[in-house]
Copies of this chain bind each other. A is one copy, B any other.
Amino acid sequence: MKNNLSQRAIVRLTQYHTILRDYSKKKIENITSSQISKLLEIDETLVRKDIKNINCKGKCKVGYSVFELKYIIESVLDCNITKKAYIIGAGNLGIALAKYSKFNDFGLEISALFDIDKHKIGQKVDNKPIYDLNTIKKHIQSTNINIAILTTPNKVAQEVTNFLVESGIKYIWNFAPTILTVPEGIHVWHENLIGSFLQFCTIENIS
């Protein structure tokens, strides 16, 4: 199902989910496409189309059931299938991501962090251990985890990537602002925070 959705639709569904989680916590039972549209500053027709595409039906004048829409989005986005990952680099960004509550909602589970700093190794972040990066191969072999979230400084990102690939990592979500070179069969997703900001600037005409 997820594969039939556009990338942008997937992003929007995660945003609807954030609203639904907030509504659910506040024990609000129904939500309308107009409410979602206003909160996210996006077109209401688009919201309706997205929700129709995932086969969720609303009721006239009442809207959608918060519980049902949340449940359907979670199913469509495979949130119930846990994807385990390691964070590489226990600096400020690595720690922030290890604590990021929304990952768990969508089935992304951070199993451990890795660093080379002896003062950090052995400590925990939100109950997740920080291990010595040099031992990662052993961990990968025993857990089969093959996703790494890379948050190292820019200047060592490529070197660390080579080491991760040698150690068995297959997928790298890269937060270092540099483009990584990897062998065939290894996949990198370059996170692009500045790209996101520039989209904001364009939409809102900030200059």
Chain A contacts to B: CB under 8 angstroms: 2-3, 5, 7-8, 10-12, 14-15, 18-19, 22, 39-41, 77-78, 81, 83, 91-93, 95-97, 99-103, 105-106, 108, 147, 151, 154, 171, 173, 177-179, 181, 187-207
* Chain B positions within 8 Å of A201 at CB level: 2, 78, 83
Please give the count of copies of this chain that the complex contains: 2
What are the 6 A-B residue pairs with the smallest beta carbon separation, nearest first?
A: A11-B195, A189-B200, A93-B96, A102-B177, A92-B96, A14-B195
* Chain B positions within 8 Å of A188 at CB level: 41
* Chain B positions within 8 Å of A15 at CB level: 179, 190, 192, 195
Q: Judging by beta carbons under 8 Å apart, are A196 and B200 in contact?
A: no
A39 CB contact (under 8 Å) in B7, B108, B181, B192: B181
A190 to B18 alpha-carbon distance, docked (Å): 10
